[in-house]
């Protein structure tokens, strides 16, 4: 079967939807193809938070001083200066505009009186969608795509790119692993297939460390397909060895713990000995490595009701809360003694640790690990303790794109007809992506890809 379009978008995460919507609004005949039975990719199961310097919630909360420049600096530094400065500038300059687009054009609802400050950021600048997950984003993007009558071919896996006279002119795909389908693209193929966190073979090809000992927070579809397809037509890859683990994930399933987002509002991390060992707002790679060095390679995260009152994650992630309790990975306790007993931590040491935390909370000076937001008092229960391990979360490396999202070949020249945006690109996040930067990246560059294709 053959289908003819102007623009074919491969992958229906946040990047793919943004590209398809922009291209369609520019008057192109657009299709999205998605290999899974449902849309959304990792965007759907993510926390959905999005950095936007100078945003409206910062204004409402009286948070002053944030700027495009500060966000740019944090992102570059967070990725050890391996991001492409020109591309990171585009991200920083457009993040707020992307957030406003989601809010005003896509009708995404962001919580209007709460923000997250993820590790590595100088300010609380991440907007939180209602429900604290990517579901709000994907639902609204999907609604918009439907209202624009963009066809979405699910269960349709792109297998290879069609190249004719040096130009990418379409995609060969399989429907439900039964039928071959060809999608011709008169103007552009836009790859938005996400990273390769679920592909153990591909992970170890580029970095031996991340073998099957690590579970992944990613969906089963996160196999690096787009990177390989582009590579097969000459695309250059970069930063492939940089694979990010999310420090706080379920030790049994590898799933990200969104309940544990209390960490951004004062939850502490301790080891089996009951001692803190890292600044809780450090970069993900630093915290992950520190956790793996502790006894058993795991950590306990501890917080109280006061902290939950700030982050409100218990209400937002009820299902996860109940699941962790059921699995014996989370306990609620009234006293620190009980809390310690639940995981056989020495109560005296844990009490001493928490006493210090309370003191540092009062003085505003964490003398041990210099908590950048200031610690919060854990003097009053009830308390929560959750066991967690690092899990593969984001692959920073991927395709080299330019400011128009054209995919570049080994010689640095654009491959005609081929565009990419989102996690499969490797030029934005450097060696380490900061929290809240994936959504900002995929929406910003997804839209640029769609607009670029819209002008062809
Ligand atoms: P991003 O955040 O970059 O938008 P996501 O992980 O949210 O990435 O979305 C990527 C989407 O692409 C997922 O829904 C995934 O199932 C889909 N996908 C991956 N490989 C293919 C493929 N070969 N053909 C079609 N869809 C694909």
Q: What is the ipTM score, two decimals? A: 0.98
Distance in Å, CA 16 to ligand 1 centroid: 8
Which atom of ligand 1 lies at the shortest distance from residue 40's CA?
14
Residue of the CA atom closest to atom 17 of ligand 1: 11
Domain 2-196+396-454 identical in fold to domain 246-392: no
**Does 1 have pLDDT greater than 90?**
no
CB-ligand 1 contact for 158 (6 Å cutoff):
yes
Q: How many CB atoms lie within 10 A of CB 238?
A: 16
- Strand 383-395 versus strand 330-333 pairing type: antiparallel
**Confidence tier at 257 by pLDDT (50, 70, 90):** very high
**Confidence tier at 51 by pLDDT (50, 70, 90):** very high
**Does 275 have pLDDT greater than 90?**
yes
Question: What radius of gyration do the chain's Cα atoms show?
Answer: 22
List the structure tokens of 291.
């956790």
Give catalytic residues, as residue numbers. Answer: 284
Residue pLDDT, tens place only, 120-143: 999 999 999 999 999 999 999 999
CB-ligand 1 contact for 266 (6 Å cutoff):
no
**Does 177 have pLDDT greater than 90?**
no
**Does 92 have pLDDT greater than 90?**
yes
**Does 253 have pLDDT greater than 90?**
yes
**Does 232 have pLDDT greater than 90?**
yes
Cα–Cα distance list, 117 to 10, 76, 109 (Å): 32, 17, 19
- Strand 243-249 versus strand 383-395 pairing type: antiparallel
Task: Look at the domain 2-196+396-454 and name its fold.
Answer: FAD/NAD(P)-binding domain (3.50.50)
CB-ligand 1 contact for 218 (6 Å cutoff):
no
Which atom of ligand 1 lies at the shortest distance from residue 194's CA?
8
Cα–Cα distance list, 275 to 250, 346, 368, 370, 372 (Å): 21, 10, 11, 15, 19
pLDDT at 11: 98
Which atom of ligand 1 lies at the shortest distance from residue 156's CA?
25
Distance in Å, CA 92 to ligand 1 centroid: 24
**pLDDT top residue among 103 and 285:** 103
Domain boundaries, the chain: 2-196+396-454, 246-392
pLDDT at 149: 98
CB-ligand 1 contact for 442 (6 Å cutoff):
yes
pLDDT at 283: 87
The yes/no answer on whether domain 246-392 falls in CATH 3.90.700.10 is: yes
Instruction: Determine the angle formed by the axes of helices 14-25 and 437-454, rounding to 10 degrees.
Output: 30
Residue of the CA atom closest to atom 7 of ligand 1: 13
Which atom of ligand 1 lies at the shortest distance from residue 11's CA?
12
pLDDT at 284: 87
Distance in Å, CA 105 to ligand 1 centroid: 23
Rounded Cα gap, residues 195 and 221, in angstroms? 9
**Does 285 have pLDDT greater than 90?**
no
Q: How many CB atoms lie within 10 A of CB 232?
A: 11
DSSP single-letter state for residue 265? G
Average pLDDT, the chain: 97
CB-ligand 1 contact for 221 (6 Å cutoff):
yes
**Does 440 have pLDDT greater than 90?**
yes
**Confidence tier at 50 by pLDDT (50, 70, 90):** very high
**Does 384 have pLDDT greater than 90?**
yes
| Mean of pLDDT values over 226-248 | 97
pLDDT at 382: 97
Cα–Cα distance list, 221 to 21, 41, 90, 159 (Å): 22, 7, 28, 13
**By 3-state DSSP, what share of the chain in percent is helix, strand and coil, each rounded to 5?**
35, 25, 40
CA torsion, points 143, 146, 148, 154, in degrees to nearest 10?
120
Residue of the CA atom closest to atom 19 of ligand 1: 193
| Mean of pLDDT values over 205-224 | 94
Distance in Å, CA 148 to ligand 1 centroid: 21
Cα–Cα distance list, 285 to 137, 282, 289, 295, 378 (Å): 27, 8, 6, 18, 26
| Mean of pLDDT values over 55-63 | 98
Out of 16, 161, 176, 193, give the residue to mutate to test ligand 1, the one with the largest number of ligand atoms within 8 Å of its CB: 193
**Confidence tier at 276 by pLDDT (50, 70, 90):** very high
Q: Are the CB atoms for 166 and 416 separated by under 8 Å?
A: yes
């Amino acid at each position: 079967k053959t289908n003819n379009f102007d623009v074919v978008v491969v992958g229906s995460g946040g990047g793919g939807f943004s590209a398809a919507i922009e291209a369609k609004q520019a008057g192109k005949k657009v299709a999205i193809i998605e290999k899974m039975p449902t849309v959304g990719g990792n965007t759907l199961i993510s926390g959905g938070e999005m950095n936007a310097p100078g945003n409206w919630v910062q204004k409402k909360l009286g948070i002053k001083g944030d700027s495009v420049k500060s966000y740019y600096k944090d992102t570059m530094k967070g990725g050890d200066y391996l991001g492409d400065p020109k591309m990171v500038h585009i991200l920083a300059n457009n993040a707020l505009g992307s957030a406003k687009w989601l809010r005003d054009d896509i009708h995404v609802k962001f919580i209007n009186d709460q923000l997250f400050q993820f590790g590595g950021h100088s300010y609380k600048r991440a907007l939180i969608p209602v429900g604290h997950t990517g579901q709000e984003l994907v639902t609204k993007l999907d609604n918009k795509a439907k209202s624009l009558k963009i066809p979405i071919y699910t269960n349709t896996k792109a297998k290879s790119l069609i190249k004719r006279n040096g130009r990418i002119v379409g995609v060969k795909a399989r429907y439900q692993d039964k039928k071959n389908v060809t999608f011709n693209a008169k103007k552009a193929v836009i790859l938005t297939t996400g990273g390769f966190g679920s592909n153990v073979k591909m992970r170890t090809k580029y970095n031996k460390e991340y073998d099957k000992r690590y579970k992944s927070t990613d969906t089963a579809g996160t196999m690096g397909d787009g990177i390989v397809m582009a590579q097969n037509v000459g695309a250059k890859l970069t930063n492939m060895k940089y694979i990010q683990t999310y420090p706080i994930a379920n030790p049994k399933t590898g799933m990200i713990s969104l309940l544990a987002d209390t960490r951004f509002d004062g939850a502490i991390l301790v080891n089996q000995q009951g001692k803190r060992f890292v600044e809780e707002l450090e970069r993900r790679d630093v915290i992950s490595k520190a956790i793996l060095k502790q006894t058993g390679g795991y950590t306990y995260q501890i917080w109280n009701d006061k902290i939950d009152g700030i982050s409100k994650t218990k209400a937002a992630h009820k299902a996860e809360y109940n699941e962790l309790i059921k699995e014996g990975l989370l306990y609620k306790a009234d006293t620190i003694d009980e809390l310690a007993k639940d995981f056989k931590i020495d109560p005296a040491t844990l009490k001493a640790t928490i006493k210090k935390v309370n003191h540092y909370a009062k003085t505003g000076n964490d003398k041990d690990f210099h908590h950048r937001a200031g610690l919060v008092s854990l003097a009053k229960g009830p308390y929560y303790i959750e066991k967690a391990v690092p899990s593969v979360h984001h692959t920073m490396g991927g395709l080299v794109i330019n400011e128009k999202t054209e995919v570049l070949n080994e010689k640095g020249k654009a491959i005609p007809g081929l565009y990419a945006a989102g996690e499969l690109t490797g030029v934005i996040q450097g060696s380490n992506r900061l929290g809240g930067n994936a959504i900002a990246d995929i929406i910003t560059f997804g839209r640029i890809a769609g607009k670029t294709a819209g002008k062809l």
